[in-house]
Amino acid sequence: MRICVILEGCYPYVTGGVSSWMHQYIQAMPQHEFVVWAINADSSQNGKFRYTMPDNVVEIREVSLTDSVSSRSGRRLSFNERELSALRALIECEHPDWEEIFHIFQDRKISPTDFLASEYFVDLLAEICREKYPYTAFSDLFHTVRSMLLPLLCVMCCDVPQADVYHTIATGYAGVLARLGSYKYKVPFLLTEHGIYTREREEEIIRANWVLADFKDMWIRFFYMLSSAAYEGATMVTSLFARAGRTQVEIGADPAKCRTVANGIHYDRFAGIAQKKTQGPVHIGAILRIAPIKDVKTMLYAFAEVERDIPDVKLYIAGPEDDPGYALECRNLLRQLGIRNVIFLGTINVLDYMGDFDFTVLSSISEGQPLSVLESFAAGRPCVTTDVGCCKELIYGEGGDSFGQAGYCVPPMQPHALAQAMKDLCRNSVRRLQMGENGRNRARAYFRHEDMIANYLDTYEEVFRRWERSE
């Protein structure tokens, strides 16, 4: 089987998180061929891979959102009523007929720049402006919609790699490309979400300074429209945990298509790591990308409070500096707070360092089902997390899980609450060891990598059965 996996802004350009998951996923299925269809911000990233591709990756396709702009051809454009209706819905971000859109830009090979400079586009936009934005400058609407649509239309014009099934690891642009592949080659596609892409984009837009206030709602609708394209077209939709699946249904996924497939880690690699001696300074590990979504600043504010009360404690922050500007801000904050015992390790092999940690901490403002927490559990280390994604379920258990508490879960962006939880684990070695054992038992029972791979192989078989029944 040839599987085309579609990813946006992660594998193979950055390490950790979804990228590590994807790399291990491909390696675990040597019997299948993989095509990696990677979406990046611009073509300067092309070829700059952080991973050596596994032998069963037979093709890599790269698509750049900002550099895929096709030049104007000067062709005279014409559209029938059905196509114009689909184009208007696309401009309004109101559930267009995607097959018509694909026909226009993939089959007819209409240049996006030709369309966005055409009388058709201007006339459609003028109608929308009169009806919905009567007090907004047309020029502002024009430039907003053009900047919104141009990357989307350009990626729809790219060459589509052939596969037996398309598997997108997010909605957004990746979800549209998965639906495009399904349209072109008449095969199914599967959607797996690690986090809820639409909600993450919504939060970013609400906080964004670059989006004019008049158009925040339009940008949010745009990303909901992209998610709908994936939810509606996918043969199956998977999530990592039940609560995320319920959110997918709220956004528009058909409950009959949805199933939960939990993450998995290589349990045996971590289970043999010995516990640290309870005497001596406590070492805390934070395994994460240094990026705003991980909210390292809140962790530093919390650790400043911990260090004041427990002088010998050390915090080791391990992970790539994906956002150099944010990383610099974190280092400056470190100096401003007068923190002495924080060590930035950079990218590491977690197995080499986990034995030095007494417990781990994660201060993210958004997560799915973090692998770093599962690996910490497998090593018998409890974790302090924020209440995002399914972290609460990982810490306290869910359903019939009777293994017990495996750390603490606190509200995001509350450094004092995070500090209190960290101080409790620092001071109470007996509780720390018991919570670590609870986490180890939970990881062994529910989050093994081999079980996850078996579940996805079953899911592919179910995808093909459903596709055949629908044809």
**Which residue's structure tokens are 């650790």?**
303
pLDDT over threshold 90, residue 399? no
pLDDT in tens, 25-80: 999 999 999 999 999 988 889 999 999 999 999 999 999 987 655 566 667 899 99
What is the model's pLDDT at position 69?
Answer: 54
What is the model's pLDDT at position 67?
Answer: 67
pLDDT in tens, 211-254: 888 899 999 999 999 999 999 999 999 999 999 999 999 999 99
pLDDT over threshold 90, residue 415? yes
CB 447, CB 422: distance < 8 Å: no
pLDDT over threshold 70, residue 8? yes
Cβ neighbours around 64 below 10 Å, total: 20
Boundaries of every domain in the chain: 2-68+158-260, 81-147, 270-447
What is the model's pLDDT at position 19?
Answer: 94
Amino acid at 62: E
What is the model's pLDDT at position 73?
Answer: 64
pLDDT over threshold 80, residue 400? no
Q: Does domain 270-447 have CATH number 3.40.50.2000?
A: yes
Backbone angles phi, psi at 36, to 5 degrees: -100, 115
CA angle, residues 141, 142, 146, in degrees to nearest 5? 115
**First vs last Cα of the chain: how many Å apart?**
20
pLDDT in tens, 349-391: 999 999 999 999 999 998 999 999 999 999 999 999 999 999 9
Q: Stretch 445-451: mean pLDDT, rounded?
A: 97
Largest CA distance in the chain: 78
pLDDT in tens, 298-338: 999 999 999 999 989 999 999 988 889 999 999 999 999 99
What is the model's pLDDT at position 195?
Answer: 87
Measured CA to CA in angstroms, residue 459 lies from 17, 138, 152 at distances of 22, 48, 29
Burial of 40 (0-12, 13-18, 19+ CB in 10 A): buried
- Looking at the structure, give the CATH architecture of the domain made up of residues 2-68+158-260: 3-Layer(aba) Sandwich (3.40)
What is the model's pLDDT at position 345?
Answer: 95
pLDDT in tens, 460-470: 999 999 999 88
CA nearest to 109, candidates 73, 56, 59: 73
Give the integer Cα–Cα distance in Å for 453 and 169.
Answer: 15
What is the model's pLDDT at position 308?
Answer: 95
The share of the chain scoring above pLDDT 90, in percent, equals: 87
pLDDT tier for residue 279 given thresholds of 50, 70 and 90 = confident
CB 347, CB 15: distance < 8 Å: yes
What is the model's pLDDT at position 398?
Answer: 85
What is the model's pLDDT at position 70?
Answer: 57
Average pLDDT over all residues of the chain: 94
Give the integer Cα–Cα distance in Å for 363 and 470.
Answer: 44
Q: Could you write out the three-class secondary structure of the chain?
A: CEEEEEEECCCCCCCCHHHHHHHHHHHCCCCCEEEEEEEECCHHHCCCCCCCCCCCEEEEEEEECCCCCCCCCCCCCCCCHHHHHHHHHHHHCCCCCHHHHHHHHHHCCCCHHHHHCCHHHHHHHHHHHHHHCCCCCHHHHHHHHHHHHHHHHHHHCCCCCCCCEEEECCCHHHHHHHHHHHHHHCCCEEEEECCCHHHHHHHHHHHCCCCCHHHHHHHHHHHHHHHHHHHHHCCEEEECCHHHHHHHHHHCCCHHHEEECCCCECHHHHHCCCCCCCCCCCEEEEECCCCHHHCHHHHHHHHHHHHHHCCCCEEEEECCCCCHHHHHHHHHHHHHHCCCCEEEEECCCHHHHHHHCCEEEECCCCCCCCHHHHHHHHCCCCEEEECCCCHHHHHHCCCCCCCCCCEEEECCCCHHHHHHHHHHHHHCHHHHHHHHHHHHHHHHHHCEHHHHHHHHHHHHHHHHHHHHHHC
270-447 matches 2-68+158-260 in CATH topology: yes
pLDDT over threshold 90, residue 189? yes
| pTM recorded for the entire structure | 0.92
pLDDT in tens, 142-159: 999 999 999 999 999 999
What is the model's pLDDT at position 151?
Answer: 94
What is the model's pLDDT at position 256?
Answer: 96
Give the integer Cα–Cα distance in Å for 89 and 410.
Answer: 42
Give the integer Cα–Cα distance in Å for 156 and 103.
Answer: 10
Q: Stretch 243-269: mean pLDDT, rounded?
A: 95
